[in-house]
Chain A
Amino acid sequence: METSQRQLTPELFEPVGEDFKDYERIAGPSIGFWRDSWQRFKKNKASLIGLVVIIALIVTAYVAPLLVPYSPYAQDMTRGYLGTSAEHLMGTDKFGRDMFVRVWEGMRVSLYIALLAAFFDLVIGVPFGAVSGLLGGKVDGVMQRIIEVLNGIPNLVIAILVMLVLNPGIVTISVAIGIAGWTSMARIIRGRVMQLRDQEFTLAARSLGAGRRRILTKHLLPNSLGLIIITLMLTIPSAIFYEAVLSFIGLGIQVPKASLGSLINDGYQELRFHSYLLWFPAAVFSLLMLSFNLLADGLRDALDPRMRK
């Protein structure tokens, strides 16, 4: 140990008053779960970029049409197949429609799908899973069977079947997602609720007389928030992807409306001579998927309680 060089005066040995005892400062700021996660998230450059890109895409999707005087549906056969130019940032298609506007309309469709998937996840998936996990027993059994069966039917099949009955279009896709898109969220929430239910703090709350509803809202759900966010972030890209695939094979959004998937298909048809019709929507779509996936990964890493060290 180092020897103190200073002169030791008697005052130094006076007892210190109560006011000095600021435990908090010495103990260090207790970083809450959210702040800690946010800090971790910030460190992940890739997901930050993802977040920024998504925001940029969202903004552009709504702002872009205002910047350009063309409507996504206005045809002008005399201006077909024009390449990129200052007027038509992404060129025109076979019918002389401005691609730029169409691409962003397609993006709006994808964003709508994202919102929809999130909505169903939260409105059906979470309650379903939470109730199932909390109540257990027979109720859980029945609910679980339902999920297993729904899960067993491949999403694609459900989507297509719905598509067959109702005319292909935005409504049908919405219905399809509403039927089967929330099952993974339900399963995950159920698992989490069951895990939490068995932990001591639930027991503590119950012994204090908390009713089931209270336990659910004040204890179980807040503790599952991280998991909910993570799962949401994973369902969204796959929902967007599914819509695109369906539109690509012609079972989704129909002409004249535009979806990134259908645009890509159209572009694909023209690949030989007008490849730009493919590249633009493809690039935008890939960018969207990429950013969402990066964001999802980043959020998962940040919110994962096991990674807290």
Chain B
Amino acid sequence: MAALNGNANVEPNDDVLLEVKDLRISFSTYAGEVQAIRDASFNLRRGETLAIVGESGSGKSVTARSIMRLNPEANTIVRGGEILFDGRDILQLSEKQMQSVRGRRIAMVFQDPMTSLDPTMRIGPQIMESLKKHLGMSGNRAKERAIELLKLVGIPSPEDRMRQYPHQFSGGMRQRVVIAIALSCDPEILIADEPTTALDVTIQAQILELFRELQERIGTSIILITHDLGVVASTAHRVAVMYGGKIIETGTLRDIFYNPQMPYTWGLLASIPLPTADRSLELIPIPGSPPSALDPPKGCPFTARCPYAMRICAEEMPEFTRFSDEHRAACWLHHQMAPNVEPPARIGGTR
């Protein structure tokens, strides 16, 4: 796991770029209504990297797509909430307005580089598409810019590579191309949905390094969706933990790693194998599986798997408790009537 101080040097300002408030999104399927996001609130500041962490099924990918309004129209139901960007609610924009936002002001990088690119179109035109549409560039100018972008993301001999097809690139290279496409129009926000999950570890490190560099150079704000805390540690400024369709804890990187306040977060941290940790302490995986989105539990979604669960946890959702300006968590353990609980030794000892 990389050192925790990955982005501690870059101080993001207080300028809030994107604000997600009380978002609730469901899908109607043949089996019933799937409540993918039951309550999500967070915001993104200019120049920072916000990581949204959670297991598969927690709703994080849906959140990313919702910001871009990429969910399948036919069966997506917005049950409530707002996504505020540049003074407007994204959920209220028309499709046409949305098209001028996508790719231009908010861009996205997907998880699987092997399927993200059109296999029958050369790389060059795929990059130039956005340039021509959003920036109105002419063919030649777009070509130059595309080559610049390829250089920027670290692809050698870009002039030749432009004319090649995706299958002639390796996985890591393809992901770089996807990143190039995303950055082509200088978007303010870059959403990366598990950008390194499908790549091997060494490439992973390279891609993350790329993100860091780009943020330094261009100042793009990044929302990084991942299930891997190692990735979070090396790139994020702030973290939002998501479970069962709800955001249950948010805070700065230090808050989450050094002072986590939720059993789920403890569980996440405890299940990371650390080379430096005391070998006598067990790896504690979290037993069980995430709650059903079809029939979500009434109270806190983590109740069934929480070693500290109390009766009230199953019946009602706790409110958020603020621990600092940035740090808040929703857990009944913080209530005055709850017993005092210490986080497991492993967490406390992580330095």
* A and B held together in a complex: yes
A residues in contact with B39, CB < 8 Å: 1
Contacts A22-B304, A26-B303: A3 and B311 contacting too (C-beta < 8 A)?
no
**Can you give 17 A-B contacts (C-beta < 8 A)?**
A1-B319, A4-B316, A8-B337, A13-B312, A13-B335, A14-B311, A15-B309, A15-B339, A16-B303, A20-B304, A21-B305, A26-B288, A26-B291, A27-B289, A27-B290, A28-B294, A39-B30
Say yes or no for A219: interface residue by CB 8 A criterion: no
Cβ contact within 8 Å between B292 and A40 = no
| Chain A interface size, under 10 / 10 to 19 / 20 to 34 / 35 or more | 20 to 34
A residues in contact with B311, CB < 8 Å: 11-14, 16
A residues in contact with B290, CB < 8 Å: 27
* Residues of A that sit less than 8 Å from B by CB: 1, 3-4, 6, 8, 10-16, 20-23, 25-29, 31, 39-40, 43, 309
**Residue on A with the closest CB to B302?**
A26
Chain A min CB distance to B124 (Å): 31
A residues in contact with B316, CB < 8 Å: 4, 6
Chain B min CB distance to A255 (Å): 51
Chain A min CB distance to B190 (Å): 27
Say yes or no for B317: interface residue by CB 8 A criterion: yes
**What is the CA–CA distance of A14 and B332 in the complex, to the nearest angstrom?**
11
Contacts A1-B330, A8-B335, A39-B30: A13 and B292 contacting too (C-beta < 8 A)?
no
B residues in contact with A40, CB < 8 Å: 30
Cβ contact within 8 Å between A23 and B305 = yes
Cβ contact within 8 Å between B332 and A16 = no
A residues in contact with B31, CB < 8 Å: 31, 39
Say yes or no for B310: interface residue by CB 8 A criterion: yes
Cβ contact within 8 Å between B313 and A309 = no
Number of A-B contacts (CB under 8 A): 77
**What is the CA–CA distance of A16 and B338 in the complex, to the nearest angstrom?**
13
Interface of B is mostly: loop
| Chain B interface size, under 10 / 10 to 19 / 20 to 34 / 35 or more | 35 or more
**Residue on A with the closest CB to B315?**
A12
**What is the CA–CA distance of A26 and B297 in the complex, to the nearest angstrom?**
7
Chain B min CB distance to A297 (Å): 17
B residues in contact with A25, CB < 8 Å: 304
**Residue on A with the closest CB to B291?**
A26
**What is the CA–CA distance of A91 and B159 in the complex, to the nearest angstrom?**
78
Cβ contact within 8 Å between B288 and A8 = no
CB 8 Å contact bits of B318-351 with A (1 = contact, 0 = none): 0110000000001010010111000000000000
**Residue on A with the closest CB to B75?**
A309
B residues in contact with A23, CB < 8 Å: 287-289, 304-305
B312 contacts which of A8, A27, A309 (Cβ < 8 Å)? A8
**Residue on A with the closest CB to B72?**
A309
A residues in contact with B140, CB < 8 Å: none
Say yes or no for B284: interface residue by CB 8 A criterion: no
Cβ contact within 8 Å between A14 and B287 = no
CB 8 Å contact bits of B190-206 with A (1 = contact, 0 = none): 00000000000000000
Cβ contact within 8 Å between B291 and A27 = yes
Cβ contact within 8 Å between A43 and B292 = no
A4 contacts which of B291, B305, B319 (Cβ < 8 Å)? B319
Say yes or no for B258: interface residue by CB 8 A criterion: no
**What is the CA–CA distance of A149 and B315 in the complex, to the nearest angstrom?**
68
A residues in contact with B337, CB < 8 Å: 8, 10, 12-13
